[in-house]
């Protein structure tokens, strides 16, 4: 999609659809909307009076201009209550406008930068959120269907219109950032929506290797075994699909920050086989890896001045004659031995070795992202990711980064009292408990044993990586969650 910025009066812009806005409860529009209303001989004010335009968040009303403006149609989108306005509303509004544009098959759209005027958001921030909303909101997974219906209609161009020439540069800066972020989020969604027979560890490794400005090392099963990553390989060995442990390095010096993403490209549960209902959804068990991979792409494009390593332990978790069994004891890169209680608690096993690998590289901070526990879905649903860690400062910073990025993170505790749940009779630790309490925390506490005293935060995205039903600017399916939060955090 072409997105550009133009210094012009909105009354002069030729397009199929011109987007203006209104706050809820206003009787008389202001700014650009007032200018358009005047050209339309007071149509907008009349529609407010008649109650058709209320300004409720994401409400859309289309008016035919019938030659009164160079634009063929005008869309008035609701910004909601001005007292509740914040940056994420811009994404919601942009997405609602794009959905309407698609519905009426408007190829060329022009829009004002919502939120920058009466909304009180800085111009570059508003432009960035607008473009994120446009790109994330109009995403559709292309898929493999041979027959494409109307839902595949694509808006060709969006022009952000600003009257004052002096402001164009700062809008353009926001557009550039918003475009990079929006594209990365959508790339991550493509990886997560993609079927497990196509989005294999090998595919992810090839994708990582293509990113400019990143050094990539890939270990196969044999190499990973030689290094001593048996916690990872004991999961991987149960599948014929070749495993890939991917290390992506950005920056000149020694990495300070590690981003670790769970890359289980299909989680059948292993010998502790999952029930078949919704099993196909387990193709999304590499959402953490997808988020880290795309965040690495972003930081390379943005030339962030930090040394960062992305670690993606990728493999399938399958039942097979060579698969690990409940009751097995394996060693890990850390030296700790692990008793397998459930082969379905494989995420923490591949993550444990990836975390130790990061520690051996000498990083000061570890942020891990994983679809780790079904219990996190029960606890928080799909609107917030679970976050826990040993550094309250890092947790706070990530929650704050999520707020600007439009992704909610909710802290869960790592209670001392539950430490004993990881104790095994025959090994240093066991990979899970059988009583099924405090699932996200038990998962987090297991990882903590491998993190030790390195500053660390763990983000459980089991509920947020994939929406069974779309909401706001996110459609049903993969969300690309954490690309925005991680990028916003790393940009500070």
Binding positions for ligand BES, rule: CB under 6 A: 267, 285, 342, 344-347, 371-375, 377, 432, 439, 462
Q: Which CB atom, from 170 or from 287, has the smaller least distance to ligand BES?
A: 287
Pick from 221, 186, 216, 222: nearest CA to 204: 216
Which does residue 216 bind out of Zn ion, ligand BES, none, counting CB within 5 to 8 angstroms by kind?
none
Classify residue 364 by its DSSP letter.
Answer: S
348 is a catalytic site residue: yes
Based on CB atoms, which residue is closest to ligand BES, 170 or 373? 373
Residue 375's binding partner out of Zn ion, ligand BES, none, with CB under 5 to 8 Å set by partner kind: ligand BES
Please give the structure tokens belonging to residue 161: 């219109």
DSSP letter (8 states) at residue 217? E
Query: Choosing among ligand BES, Zn ion, none, which partner's interface includes residue 342 (Cβ < 5 to 8 Å by kind)?
Result: ligand BES
271, two tokens? 């010998």
Q: What is the DSSP string of 245-283?
A: EEEEEESSSS-SEEEEE-EEEEE--TTSPPPSTTGGGGG
Minimum CB distance to ligand BES, residue 27 (Å): 47
Cα separations (Å) of 25 from 22, 221, 307, 438, 461?
9, 62, 49, 45, 37
Q: Which of 372, 347, 364, 139 is nearest to 236 (CA)?
A: 347
Q: Terminus-to-terminus CA distance in the chain, angstroms?
A: 29
CA–CA gap between residue 77 and residue 59 (Å, rounded): 6
Smallest distance, ligand BES to C-beta of residue 382, A: 10
From the list Zn ion, ligand BES, none, which binds 170 (C-beta under 5 to 8 Å, kind-based)?
Answer: none
Which pairing describes strands 329-331 and 409-411: parallel, antiparallel, or unpaired? unpaired
How many CB atoms sit inside 10 A of residue 360's CB? 11
Q: Residue 377: name its binding partner from Zn ion, ligand BES, none (Cβ under 5 to 8 Å by kind).
A: ligand BES
259 touches 311 (CB < 8 A):
yes
**344 appears as a binding residue in the annotation:** yes
Among ligand BES, Zn ion, none, residue 200 binds (CB under 5-8 Å by kind): none
432 binds, among Zn ion, ligand BES, none (CB under 5 to 8 A by kind): ligand BES
Active-site annotation holder among 274, 306, 336, 403: 274
CB of 339 to ligand BES, least distance (A): 13
2 is in an annotated binding site: no
Dist CA 249 CA 255 (whole Å): 8
The maximal CA–CA distance of the chain, rounded, in angstroms, is 82
CA 341, 347, 348, 351 dihedral sign is: positive
We find the least distance from the C-beta atom of residue 433 to ligand BES, in angstroms, to be 7
Q: Are strands 257-261 and 365-370 parallel, antiparallel or unpaired?
A: parallel
Work out how close the CB of 146 gets to Zn ion at its nearest, in angstroms, rounded to a whole number: 32
CA distance 401 to 488: 6
Answer with the entry of Zn ion, ligand BES, none that 474 interacts with (C-beta below 5 to 8 A by kind). none
Active site residue 365: no
Determine the residue with CB nearest ligand BES.
374
State the number of CA atoms in the 13 A half-sphere of 149 facing the CB.
2
**Nearer Cβ to Zn ion, position 255 or 313?**
313
- Which of 274, 281, 288, 293 is CA-nearest to residue 466? 281
User: Minimum Å distance from CB 56 to ligand BES?
Assistant: 33
Query: Do the annotations mark residue 346 as ligand-binding?
Result: yes
| Choice among 348, 359, 430, 448 that is catalytic | 348
Residue nearer to Zn ion on the CB measure, 115 or 443:
443
The verdict on whether residue 285 carries a ligand-binding annotation is yes
Q: Which residues contact 16 (CB under 8 A, 6 or more apart)?
A: 71, 72, 73, 101, 106, 107, 108, 109
Q: Could you list the residues that contact Zn ion (CB under 5 A)?
A: 264, 267, 285, 344, 346-347
Copy the structure tokens of residue 427: 């090994």
Q: Pick the closer one to ligand BES by CB: 170 or 317.
A: 317
Pick between residue 172 and residue 328 the one whose CB is nearest to Zn ion: 328
Among residues 347 and 389, whose Cβ is nearest to ligand BES? Answer: 347
Report angle CA 174, 477, 157 to the nearest 5 degrees: 40
Minimum separation from the CB atom of position 176 to Zn ion (A): 36
Residue 403 DSSP symbol: H
CB of 36 vs Zn ion, minimal distance in Å: 51
Q: Can you say which residues are annotated as belonging to the binding site?
A: 262, 267, 285, 344, 346
**Enzyme catalytic residues:** 274, 348
Q: Can you say which residues are annotated as belonging to the binding site for Mn(2+)?
A: 262, 267, 285, 344, 346
């Amino acid at each position: 999609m072409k997105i550009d910025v133009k210094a012009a009066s909105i009354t002069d812009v030729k397009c199929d659809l011109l987007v203006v806005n209104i706050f809820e409860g206003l009787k008389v529009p202001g700014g650009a909307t007032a200018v358009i209303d005047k050209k339309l001989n007071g149509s907008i004010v009349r529609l407010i009076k008649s109650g058709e335009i209320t300004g409720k968040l994401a409400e859309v009303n289309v008016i035919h201009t019938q030659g009164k403006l160079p634009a063929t149609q005008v869309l008035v989108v609701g910004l909601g209550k001005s007292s509740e306005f914040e940056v994420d509303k811009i994404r919601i509004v942009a997405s609602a406008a794009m959905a309407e544009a698609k519905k009426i098959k408007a190829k060329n759209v022009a829009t004002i930068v919502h939120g920058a005027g009466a909304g009180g958001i800085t111009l570059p921030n508003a432009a960035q959120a607008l473009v994120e909303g446009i790109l994330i909101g109009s995403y559709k997974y292309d898929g493999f269907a041979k027959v494409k219906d109307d839902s595949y209609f694509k808006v060709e161009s969006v022009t952000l219109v600003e009257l004052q020439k002096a402001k164009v540069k700062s809008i353009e800066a926001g557009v550039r950032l918003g475009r990079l972020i929006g594209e990365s989020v959508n790339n991550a969604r493509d990886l997560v929506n993609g079927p497990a027979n196509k989005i294999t560890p090998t595919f992810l490794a090839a994708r990582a290797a293509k990113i400019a400005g990143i050094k990539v090392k890939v270990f196969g099963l044999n190499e990973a075994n030689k290094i001593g990553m048996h916690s990872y390989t004991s999961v991987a060995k149960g599948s014929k699909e070749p495993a890939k442990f991917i290390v992506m390095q950005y920056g000149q010096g020694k990495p300070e920050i590690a981003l670790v993403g769970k890359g289980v490209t299909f989680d059948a549960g292993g010998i502790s086989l999952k029930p078949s209902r919704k099993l196909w959804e387990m193709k999304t068990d590499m959402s953490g890896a997808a988020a880290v991979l795309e965040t690495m792409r972003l930081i390379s494009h943005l030339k962030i001045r930090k040394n960062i390593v992305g670690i993606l332990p990728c493999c399938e978790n399958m039942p097979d004659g060579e698969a690990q069994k409940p009751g097995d004891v394996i060693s890990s890169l850390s030296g700790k031995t692990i008793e397998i209680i459930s082969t379905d608690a494989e995420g923490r096993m591949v993550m444990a070795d990836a975390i130790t690998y990061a520690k051996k590289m000498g990083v000061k901070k570890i942020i891990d992202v994983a679809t780790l526990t079904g219990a996190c879905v029960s606890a928080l649903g799909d609107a917030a990711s679970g976050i826990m860690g040993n550094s309250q400062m890092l947790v706070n910073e990530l929650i704050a980064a999520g707020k600007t990025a439009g992704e909610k993170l909710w802290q869960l505790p790592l209670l001392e009292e539950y430490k004993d749940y990881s104790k095994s009779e025959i090994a240093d630790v066991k990979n899970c408990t059988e009583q099924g309490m405090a699932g996200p925390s038990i998962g987090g506490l297991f990882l903590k044993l491998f993190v030790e005293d390195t500053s660390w935060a763990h983000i459980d995205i089991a509920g947020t990586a994939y929406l069974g039903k779309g909401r706001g600017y996110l459609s049903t399916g993969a969300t690309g969650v954490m690309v925005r939060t991680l990028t916003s955090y790393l940009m500070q």
